[in-house]
Structure formats: C-alpha cells, structure tokens
Amino acid sequence: MAGNILLVANSADEKAVRHALVNAPDGPFTVERLSRCADACNRLRSERGERIAAVMLDLWRPDSQGIGTFDALFRASSDVPILVIGHSWDEDAARLAVQRGAQDYLLEERLDGYSLPKALSNMLRRSAYGRSVLGDSERARATLASIGDAVISTDLAGNVAYLNAVAEGMTGWSLKEACGRRLEDVLQIIDADTRSRVVNPASTAMQHNKKVGLAANCLLIRRDGYESAIEDSTAPIHGHHGQVTGAVIVFHDVGASRAMSLRMAYLAQHDVVTELPNRLLLNDRLTQAIAAAHRHSNALAVLFLDVDRFKLINDSMGHATGDRLLKSIAKRLVQSVRTSDTVSRQGGDEFVILLSEVTHARDAAIAADKILAAVSMPYRINHQTLRVTVSVGIGVYPADGTDAQTLLKNADLALLRAKGRGRNNHQFFVPAESRRVG
C-alpha cells in the first residue's frame, strides 16, 4: 500500500505528517510537499517524478481559499484520491469537499501516528476497490473472483451489480440471478440477539459517503435459510468525477473464529476435566458475593472439599479412571446445591463450593451433610463399582473472613481439621486451632 503522497499544506503540517507516517504499517510513504494550489495542480497534470498515489490537502492555501482549492485539484486529476486536512473552526468546508468527491477528511489535531496512517490506508483501499469494481476488464473480475472474501457491488439505486464466487456461495444467489435485484433481497443480515433486520450497509455508505462496518454479532441469512456469522466492510464507489455511483461490500464468515474465541474465553475460566468454574472464576464470583453480602448484611459460606485417599485410585486404576471419577463427583456436587451457588474445582481432587447466601451457619452444615451423602453413593466406572468419601471444611462470612483470600484460607484450615478427625465429615473453622497450627 506504500506510495508517494502529495501534501498540499504548510511546513508545520509537513512535519506532523512525516512524523505520523514514519512507522505506518502500510508504508513506507514518501511525502512530497507543495504549498500553493497552482503548483499542486501542475504536479498532478505532469508526468515528472514518481506517480502520486494520494493527495493530502489543506483547503486554505496562499493562492486559493476553501472549497475552491479542492475543486481545482480535483479537476486536475480526479482519479487520485484526496484526503482533506480539516480545521475545527471550518469543518463544514471539509465535509463539503467529501460531498464533492474527496475520499475523506481528518481534522488537523488528529494528524497522529494512529489516526493518519489508518485514514490514509483506508482511503487507498477504498480507492483500489472502487477502481477494481468499476472496471469491466476480465482482470478485475478475475481478481475479485480469486480473493477469499465475498464481494458484492451495487449501483446508486442499491441494486446488485456484481458478486464474486464466494459471495454466491454465502448468499445462495448466483451472479445471473442476483444482478438487478435489491441488495436487501440478496444480502439478508439480521442482529443475532434481536433477530431484526440490520440497516442496509450499502445505503449507509452511499448516504454518508464513507466507509462503514456492520455491528458485532450480525448473521447472514443464506437463501436456503442457513445462518452464518459475518463481518463486513462497506465503502462508496466514486465515478471519474468524484460522485458516488454505488457501493462495494466485502464480507467473510467469522463463525469459526467467533466460536473459537468463545471457547478460549470459556476454557480460561473453567476446569478442563470437569468443566466446572476454575480458581480464577471462583475468586471473581466469591468477591462479588462478599460485596453483595456486605451491602445487604447477609452471610455466605465456603465449603472446601477434597476426595479422601484419591491418590490410591489414581495410582492403582490410572488417571483416565481418576478423571472419570472426578467428573461423576462434580456432577453430584452440582446436583446437591442451588443453581445460585457455585461449584468449582481448585485442582487435583480439591473442590470449593460457594453457598452464596445462608441464614445461619447450620445451613452450611446441612448442605455439607447432603454433599457427604451424595458423594458416598457408589460409582460405576469401567464396569467397576467404586466408593469414595470427601472431607469438608466450612468457612462462614463474615465471621471467618471478610475477603475472598482469608475466607478460602480458613475453609482450607477447617478441611485439615476434618481430615484429622477421621475424614468423611465436615468441620467449621475454629480460630483457636488455626493459631496453634500457625
């Protein structure tokens, strides 16, 4: 995307532009500056030097003022895209230039290393798309047919003028069937949450004469009803005199990438074996539950569990059997508590259960007894019957800790107390005993 940029502006803007483009990702860009409008027009008409890829124009020149400056440069070479440098005190002039054929405008204070390279690259891409779609040559059609993205172009009335093979497959419409039809008939897009139709992106791009994109979470409805998640970029197409003549829509299927992203986000907060919330998600929920309990002067409890003598099962029967047993235990734990509670796996054979609201400490004891009974029922794994028990330590907010870390630590100390008392039982945290352990 690199090229020669003709900057028609003062020396201060030149310094800012050169600095902003020095590390542009689509560069390198060569900047050639002229101050006077007449000199810039002569440069565009001449064939000397490197070809100009784009023009950056300050409308207020020593020999020309306002929109007349743009008109003069546009007449000199209408096929070169122009980015207007606007001023906050006269932004209307920059907008008028866009209406008359400029690709875009950027306010002077936005000539930074992020906004300028992005605006320049977008302008050059839009210009390239416009030229390729407008051209009737087989080379342009072959290029559009070979790219991996779907491409649809429309005329000014919003009727389909072209679609490539990828777009045919994604919409279910052939080029022959789609040409001349309303874009809304061929490209049916809905919001995945509301199921309502999304505003035609081509109409928006042509109306505002600027590049637009779909909102997140949009679905394309294929002709046969199949739905696919898509992302798109839509830009107006300009004629030789700068007028908007249509729009080009470039889109692709993001269903797989969205699903992968959601899966990765899920795995970051859940245990791989049991798919229970992991330590990270538990800490977040526990912190939120403590904040809510504090606001409403409620209590909550944390149950710290581990499976008694689980290492013997792993060593004698193998890790695969151990994992299947952990999955079965996890299922029983979830079934033993309320849906508003959280069952998590801390790692190994340790589990933590957050009882998000308890009225009295004995409510936690009742829940622990229910868990002990459920877990101790026999398991049928690999045609074998297994029996296991768990030990449970209980910490209650706010008596046993007013933050997540302290509450978990004290519930863990209570678990050691349960182990010391023969396993297969529950014990509350006892501060005096914890001091002796320390």
- Decide: residue 241, CB within 10 A, 0-12 exposed, 13-18 middle, 19+ buried: exposed
* CA 206 to chain centroid: 26
Please tell me the CATH code under which domain 138-257 is placed: 3.30.450.20
The CATH fold assigned to 269-437 is Alpha-Beta Plaits (3.30.70)
> Quick check: pTM over 0.95?
no
Q: Match domain 3-133 to its CATH number in 3.90.1640.30, 1.10.760.10, 3.40.50.2300, 3.40.50.300.
A: 3.40.50.2300
Same fold, 138-257 and 269-437: no
- Residue 154: closest CA among 221, 250, 227, 241: 250
pLDDT mean for each 10 residues of the chain (438 residues)? 82 86 78 92 79 89 93 85 89 89 86 84 75 52 66 89 89 90 90 87 88 82 88 82 85 73 76 90 93 93 94 88 93 94 92 92 93 94 91 95 94 94 94 61
Task: Write down the pLDDT at residue 136.
Answer: 46
Q: How many helices (H) and strands (E) does the chain have?
A: 17, 19
Instruction: List phi, psi (to 5°) of 194.
Output: -90, -15
In the chain, where the domains are located: 3-133, 138-257, 269-437
Amino acid at site 234: T
- Residue 228: closest CA among 195, 256, 202, 249: 256
